[in-house]
Amino acid sequence: MSEMTDQTGNRLAKERASEKRSGALVVDDLRVLPSLDGPERRAAIVSALRAETGIDEAMIETLVRRFYAAVQADPFLGPVFAARIADWEPHLQRMMAFWSSVALMSGRYHGQPMQKHLPLPIHADHFDRWLAIFKETALEVCPPKAAAHFLERAQRIAESLELGIAGQNGVMLAKDQRYRPAAMD
């Protein structure tokens, strides 16, 4: 092994160790991925994520169905969804594909979640409640490693959507600032 390869390998090992300590998921053998093309590469990633977290499509379906049942029953979030979703099954199928893509990198979801959320009358309090229900559901449904994987991604999704909605409404959020419309102040 050349010195350059050794240094790169050592750096990669340090980065992976750091990612594992932080709870981030690391595909076990990254050296295999560059040699794979398209569908084979995706299949290897999905397989590694499944092995690392225990997440599979059945777990995603259970999580999505229980989460949205709780959302529908929630007095704060339920009306927001009820005003827009009459037939829940197509929405649940989309959300299962979405979470499969997010959690397993399966590529099943083909949509634009930001565009769907921009016109909604939602703000920081909605995202906080969404995350609280999601966390409660993930901790009930999933083993700890899988729940942590879902929750880390849910947090990033909520932050991104909140930032996008704020921007759509002419508000540029500073770091750690939350979006609440002026009418709420």
Span 127-175, pLDDT tens digits? 999 999 999 999 999 999 999 999 999 999 999 999 999 999 999 999 8
Q: What is the pTM of this model?
A: 0.78
pLDDT value, residue 32? 52
The pLDDT tens digits of the residues spanning 49-97 come to 888 899 999 999 999 999 999 999 999 999 999 999 999 999 999 999 9
36 pLDDT band (50/70/90 cuts)?
A: low
25 pLDDT band (50/70/90 cuts)?
A: very low
- Please tell me the CATH code under which domain 55-184 is placed: 1.10.490.10
Instruction: Say how far apart CA 101 and CA 60 lie, in whole Å.
Output: 10
Give the mean pLDDT of 24-52. 69
Give the mean pLDDT of 117-121. 93
- Domain ranges, ordered by start, for the chain: 55-184
pLDDT value, residue 72? 98
pLDDT value, residue 171? 94
Q: Which of 62, 50, 64, 44 is nearest to 149 (CA)?
A: 50
Buried b (16+ CB within 10 A) or exposed e, 101-140: bbbbbbebeeeebeeebeeeebbbebbebbbebbbebbee
Instruction: Say how far apart CA 162 and CA 172 lie, in whole Å.
Output: 11
Asked if pLDDT for residue 29 goes beyond 90, the answer is: no
pLDDT value, residue 133? 98
101 pLDDT band (50/70/90 cuts)?
A: very high
pLDDT value, residue 6? 42
Asked if pLDDT for residue 44 goes beyond 90, the answer is: no
pLDDT value, residue 48? 84
